Amino acid sequence: MAYPVHPIDYRYGTPEMKRIWSENSKIKRMIRVEIALLRALSEMGYFEADISKIKRKTLKINPDDVRKIEDEIKHDIMALVKAISNVLDDDSARWVHFGATSNDIIDTATATQLRDSTKVFESKLRNLIFLLAKKAEEYRDVICLGRTHGQPALPTTYGFRFALWTSEMMRHFQRLQQLKERLLVGQMSGAVGTQAGFGKDGIKIEKRVMELLNLKPSEISSQIIPRDIYNEYIEFLANFSATLEKIATNLRILQRGEVGELSEKFEKKQVGSSTMPHKRNPIDSENICGLARIVRGFVEPQHQSSILWEERDLTNSSAERIILAEATVLADHILTKMIKVISNLTLNTSAIERNLTAQKGLNLSEAVMIELTKRGVGRQTAHEILRESSLRAYEESKSLLEVLKENKDVLKYITAEELEKILKPENYLGTSMERVDAILKKVRELLNTAQ
């Protein structure tokens, strides 16, 4: 009887990514690497074989049979070699794993997992970028209260916020394109990387094996692929996970009862609390935040896994069995979750207007300060006038406009009618609309060129 322990087994992760990183998938992929090696050797005249027949036989191997052999001999790759050899004729069997070392098979199989994983990430990043850009366009003109330090600041727009997040996700998409060139490499280099077992044919054999697996050969490697490549991959996952947490954190803040400007989708039969029936908790955004921290936590152990003795030791192996699979599955999980959140997000325009007008113009003090400076008041003097006026407005529960209309130092330069115009949020948005439009244009260009 199986006893699932890890939440990935029963709670987190998408079926498509878990299939890629399952143990059975890894065994099947390692078999395909061994088949590719046999084919390369056959094509180069080492032996004659019907590769199609070899492929049919070996791909029928049950991963459980490999595990049973490993239980006896305590070596996973030699168990794989024995399982393959057992289903082949003697002449073909003697060439299984010829010239290779364990990590030629392991690392190359891992490269196929990374290749398929990056395809999934690429597709979902494109989807999220499109959704964020769509929201940026939809909410381009929705003026809202900006906040810094959690306190009221200048007005901005929801389109600007979504454009900012869109821009950040586009950079992650570009990073993935650049990363793939270095990441999707395999090796067939032998015990210490010299390809001694293959002799002078080593470079040709390695190149052919990688062609058959739709990979590139590693530029140079010891017994294993240099781990700076894996470091960069985990850093990429950590980086875009941090952006997802940043977005989710802000969505959570904007869903707070006293803010109420946004809402995640809440299902008809969904329960928010076991004791408070009214609760509508932002559980998807909270889930993203929690798991993003786990993904980022893998950065340091992966870096340590790249610090190995001479041609290699085994300290990376056990750690990477956990790091690569878990980080990938969890990063995909929260990316998928964010797509769901953004797809179903709704704006509460009445709350947005309420929060904006509740400031009584105080959040536009800079606009008046800037105008005073333009009209001849020293900038620092103007700042002090507005600081004192704002304090008075706070203390007397007045609007900034009311206070400024009573200030002779201000009225000397700006009329009451002009103040009313200056203190309208829509008149102090700077280049926000143009910047949103620029991001939307860039999104179209990026997604078109990445087809």
pLDDT tens digits for 264-282? 887 778 877 667 777 788 8
Under CATH, which architecture does the 102-264+280-355 domain have?
A: Up-down Bundle (1.20)
**Phi, psi angles (nearest 5°) of residue 186:** -120, 180
Domain locations along the chain: 22-93, 102-264+280-355, 362-422
**Phi, psi angles (nearest 5°) of residue 187:** -145, 155
Confidence of residue 144 (pLDDT cuts 50, 70, 90): very high
In a 13 Å sphere around the CA of 231, the CA atoms on its Cβ side amount to: 12
Buried residues in 325-346 as b, exposed as e (16+ CB within 10 A): bbbbbbbbbbbbbbbebbeebe
Task: For residues 123 and 348, give the distance between their C-alpha atoms in angstroms, rounded to a whole number.
Answer: 30
Rg (CA), the chain: 30
CATH number for the 362-422 domain, one of 1.10.1760.20, 1.10.40.30, 2.60.120.10, 3.40.50.300? 1.10.40.30
pLDDT (mean) for 230-236: 98
Given this model, what pLDDT does residue 364 score? 96
Confidence of residue 413 (pLDDT cuts 50, 70, 90): very high
Q: Which residue has the tokens 């993904």?
A: 295
CA distances from 381 to 56, 365, 372, 385 (A): 84, 13, 9, 6
Helix crossing, 283-296 with 228-255: angle to 10°? Answer: 150
Given this model, what pLDDT does residue 448 score? 78
In the chain, % of residues over pLDDT 70: 99
Q: Does domain 22-93 have CATH number 3.30.450.40?
A: no
CB 360 within 8 A of CB 393: yes
SS3 288: helix
SS3 305: coil
Confidence of residue 56 (pLDDT cuts 50, 70, 90): very high
Six-digit token string for 226: 């240099």
Least confident of 130-144, 270-284, 327-341: 270-284
Asked whether the predicted pLDDT for residue 424 surpasses 90, the reply is: yes
CB 159 within 8 A of CB 146: no
Q: Give the pairing of strands 216-217 and 185-186.
A: parallel
Q: Which tens digit of pLDDT belongs to each residue from 151-207? A: 999 999 999 999 999 999 999 999 999 999 999 999 999 999 999 999 999 999 999
Six-digit token string for 431: 């280049």
Q: Where are the alpha helices (DSSP H) in 269-346?
A: 283-296, 299-304, 315-343
Confidence of residue 99 (pLDDT cuts 50, 70, 90): very high
pLDDT (mean) for 110-135: 97
Residues with catalytic function: 149, 273
Task: For residues 272 and 278, give the distance between their C-alpha atoms in angstroms, rounded to a whole number.
Answer: 7
Q: Interior CA angle at 292 toward 314 and 448, to 5°?
A: 100
Task: For residues 165 and 443, give the distance between their C-alpha atoms in angstroms, rounded to a whole number.
Answer: 12
Given this model, what pLDDT does residue 1 score? 62
Given this model, what pLDDT does residue 60 score? 93
